[in-house]
Structure 1
Amino acid sequence: MNTVAATKNIVVIGLGMTGLSVVKHLVKKADGATIRVIDTRTNPPGAEQLPANVALHAGGWNMEWLLTADQIVASPGVALATPELRAASEQGIEIVGDIELFARDVSKPVIGITGSNGKSTVTSLVGEMAKADGVNVGVGGNIGFAALDMLANDHDLYVLELSSFQLETTSSLDMVAAVFLNLSEDHMDRYDGMEDYRQAKLRIFEQTQLAVWNHDDLQTKAQTSVKAISFGFAEGDYTLTRRDGEEWLTANGEQVMAVSEIALVGRHNVANCLAAMALADAAGISRNAQRAAMREYTGLPHRCQQVIKHDGVLWVNDSKATNPASTLAALDGLQLAGKLHLLVGGDGKGAEFSSLKPVLDKLDVALYCYGRDGHAFTALVAEPIVVETMQQAMDIAAETSKEGDMVLLSPACASFDQFPNFMVRGDTFAGYAREITARHSEESISG
């Protein structure tokens, strides 16, 4: 049944990349349907790209449109608990998201990845494994391309990063494999506690043929009757074993490759490789292609990305660390000859940051607290450096850092108080790091 074509009156909530992909899909699939868009922003991005026959209501809600709709397609950024959507739901109106529309139209195998941290890395790594095996793969969802836009390319395999927000409005994906990587505090401004957040993530296992969970984080364990396997450092179907004094990635007892051969940096990325192998095996990706990808894939921009080394000071962009657990992963096992200049702050999303204190206590650290929720970090060290903006923190770090030091942007917060997204924040950090180090070079020459 083509549920899109059978729906006469469709309202899309939210524009931007995802909203535009939804409109494009609906215009193509829903012959004769009336398609309208609501965006509470006064000047929503992408408004100028809407077809002439798609009406837009901007700057607020239009309850008449909502309550007369046959179907509502909601942006992941709009919570189902929003009073306006709750009113529509109480009228029996179907509310779905772009991933649900994708699920109803896709005809090729799908792999899904969710988790509080690491999902973008695992999604990209599995995509690289598929490419290395010659597979025509589409990689997107909550990362890169909108899922619906990828359908036009008729890929042979789709690898989707799926946020808890997207999973809330998705019910009919039929994935060959799905993983729940880990669970840590995030989005507490949207969910009614950790269990509510966890249940949103666990929805991924209701729509897969194989559930992959993290043996080192029992909160990710599948609670369905589908086949389940696990990964973990000490236990699991995909785990670590030792050979000739080295750790090896091991799949169902088969030693695949030495951990030292992985291009990705950090202990958390060893776990990510184990998870990626499990998913790749489920999709039939060859072991040689998996090895090749793990040896070559160096990671995503804005995730522990080295920007520049100047006068012995290393500047590192970890802007993708948008919650405390992600910053903890960046700090785990960090060894420096000098001091760590750590930049934290932004939009804390209601999170609690005390979990950072034990690891900070072990480091020689200067903690720079900036942005709207920078004050939430000040109790973590004895002498915090409080500033308004990230650039102000960088100026101080540039003046005080010495050879052997590291300046690390790993904010543990979202960017929305000062930047449109974490990518712009990371690009700003990288650009300004190059600018101020070049300026210092000129000053030293002129001096």
Structure 2
Amino acid sequence: MFSDSIPSPSDLQNLHSFLILGGGSSGDSAAKLLRSLGKKVNLADRSPEKANRELYTNVLSDNVPHESLQGIDCLIKSPGILPNHPILEMAKNKQIPILSEISLGRIFFKGKIIGITGTDGKSTTTALTFHLLQKKFPNAKMGGNIGVPFTSFCREDIEIVVLELSSYQLEDSPNLKLTSSAILNLASDHLERHKTMGNYALAKWKIQNLDDTHHNCFVNPNFFNYTPFPKPISDQLHLIGEGESYFISQNPNQILTKTNVYDAKNFPLKGKHNLMNLCFAIALCESVGMNKDDIESQLETFQGLPHRFQSIPTESLNPKYKHIRFINDSKSTNLHSMLSGISGFQKGNPLYLILGGIPKVEPLEPFLHRWKELECPLYVFGKAIEVWKEELNHVGLPVFYFDDLPSVLEKVKIDVTQWIVERDRKSQNLPLTVIFSPAGASFDLYKNFEERGNHFVHLVQANFG
């Protein structure tokens, strides 16, 4: 059974033999921590041949539950492992304690923890909060789902950390007793695991710690449209949204909190969704004692994340393409994220949009409505074709289908060349934006979204350099 509370270090002393279920970065990090404590650590993984065997006493396939659990005192579950995995079921029957990697790290960490979750914007808001915190807390760290396992630094003497927490990590963990927390938004995602939006919301809701009068939880009020319970009444719960005491204004860009108004006109990231991310980050920083001057002094220097609406430098391109802006948004793995990215575009803005990958379980209709507004050409590749093609064809706008990303860029180059000729003929001044925002997972053709994004950048430079 999953532990219903965070064990103490003394509890851990009585456990000697551990099984990591699911390797990868978080599993390997947990193994390193446990080995440093003198524990025996085994691994059960679906690809045992790829394991870092130096970390483990034994490495087994995850399809042999009896053998995997023999002599095991505690199981550490990696977040990607499904809850109904046979080894988990057997561990529950044997009453073997089950911990998440995040929970294991929480046993040892003594400082303050800010936790951030939501469907979209988690990584950007985590990185942004970390960036702001460094003014007051220079030894702060960030980790979790953003790519740095919590167990890799949980024993360090750090005053404060920021953790990006996925629904999988939260679902697998008891109350993490966070100092402050945030739920940025909720949209259809991961329903292949959670099944319903209500279940998805309940997993996210585990981030809060409203029973602690010192805790502060910041939530987008739309989140409560999906919860199987009404919005709680609590002094520790703060809403961030239109008409609430925490919100944004545009023209000029400002962030409004209960006590301050922040000038955000020079904040580098564009779009309403990024101002909302900034509002959450500022609220979280205020909750741990940062003042307005320190926060504001950090706003201009945040550079955003790789593969998240990242402009490819025009200096690396042929001067004849100086009026073309290429955007790498490979981190967009669902429709909601992609729609946030293109929210600032209007009909008449020259735009080419590239989609692809493995679509999540979510309705296509909101995108179809937006596509009709923009009337832009659409380029689709990979697994998404068989899922979306029928609905896309019914819209009646230009859409092109390709097996892979190199084929997409070959077609884009032809169309860009024609656009330049037409632009010069009409003496138009508006630039063209080519956005790679796949709105699907990368695993049909790539190991991860980073590899996919790097390939897009390479193809742009090869075709337009």
TM-score, length of structure 1 as denominator length: 0.90
Offset of 1:65 from its aligned partner? Answer: 2.2
Further displaced range: 295-304 or 282-291: 282-291
User: Is there any run of 5+ residues in structure 1 with no aligned partner, and where?
Assistant: 439-447
Offset of 1:411 from its aligned partner? Answer: 0.8
Offset of 1:50 from its aligned partner? Answer: 1.8
CA contact (8 A) 2:137 2:160 kept: no
After superposition, where does 1:296-335 map in structure 2 within 5 Å? 296-309=301-314, 310-335=321-346
- For residue 272 of structure 1, the aligned residue among 274, 277, 280 is 277
Further displaced range: 64-73 or 119-128: 64-73
Corresponding residue number in structure 2 for 1:397: 412
* SS in structure 1 at match of 2:254: strand
Corresponding residue number in structure 2 for 1:117: 120
Further displaced range: 129-138 or 314-323: 129-138
Offset of 1:331 from its aligned partner? Answer: 1.2
Letter in 2 for 1:412: A
- For residue 136 of structure 1, the aligned residue among 129, 136, 139 is 139
Corresponding residue number in structure 2 for 1:213: 219
* SS in structure 1 at match of 2:110: coil
User: Is there any run of 5+ residues in structure 2 with no aligned partner, and where?
Assistant: 1-7, 315-320, 421-430
Corresponding residue number in structure 1 for 2:423: none
CA contact (8 A) 2:329 2:436 kept: yes
Letter in 2 for 1:290: I
1:295 matched to 2:304: no
1:224 and 1:20 map into 2 onto residues whose CA distance is 41
4+ residue runs over 6 A deviation = none
1:366 and 1:241 map into 2 onto residues whose CA distance is 32
Residue by residue over 1:108-131, the C-alpha shift from the partner in whole angstroms, topping out at 9 and shown as x without a partner, is 000000000001111001100111
- For residue 25 of structure 1, the aligned residue among 20, 26, 33 is 33
1:392 and 1:286 map into 2 onto residues whose CA distance is 51
Letter in 1 for 2:331: K
After superposition, where does 1:76-115 map in structure 2 within 5 Å? 76-115=79-118
* SS in structure 2 at match of 1:240: strand
CA contact (8 A) 1:76 1:97 kept: yes
1:339 matched to 2:344: no
CA contact (8 A) 1:341 1:367 kept: yes
2:64 and 2:436 map into 1 onto residues whose CA distance is 37
After superposition, where does 1:41-440 map in structure 2 within 5 Å? 41-44=47-50, 46-50=51-55, 54-58=57-61, 60-66=63-69, 68-206=71-209, 209-219=215-225, 223=232, 227-232=236-241, 234-240=242-248, 246-257=252-263, 259-309=264-314, 310-335=321-346, 339-378=350-389, 379-380=391-392, 381-382=395-396, 383-401=398-416, 402-403=419-420, 404-438=431-465
CA contact (8 A) 1:241 1:255 kept: no
- For residue 35 of structure 1, the aligned residue among 36, 41, 63 is 41
* SS in structure 2 at match of 1:272: helix
CA contact (8 A) 1:40 1:61 kept: no
Query: Are the structure 2 counterparts of residues 61 and 372 from structure 1 closer, same or farther at C-alpha, using a change threshold of 3 Å?
Result: farther
CA contact (8 A) 1:230 1:237 kept: yes
* SS in structure 2 at match of 1:332: coil
Aligned sequence identity (%) = 27
Offset of 1:164 from its aligned partner? Answer: 0.5
1:153 and 1:256 map into 2 onto residues whose CA distance is 33
Residue by residue over 1:254-283, the C-alpha shift from the partner in whole angstroms, topping out at 9 and shown as x without a partner, is 2222x4222211110111111111110111
Query: Are the structure 2 counterparts of residues 43 and 265 from structure 1 closer, same or farther at C-alpha, using a change threshold of 3 Å?
Result: farther
CA contact (8 A) 2:126 2:164 kept: yes
Query: Are the structure 2 counterparts of residues 253 and 287 from structure 1 closer, same or farther at C-alpha, using a change threshold of 3 Å?
Result: closer
CA contact (8 A) 1:353 1:376 kept: no
Offset of 1:295 from its aligned partner? Answer: 1.9
**CA RMSD between the two structures:** 2.2
1:156 and 1:191 map into 2 onto residues whose CA distance is 34
CA contact (8 A) 2:45 2:61 kept: yes
Count of equivalent residues: 429
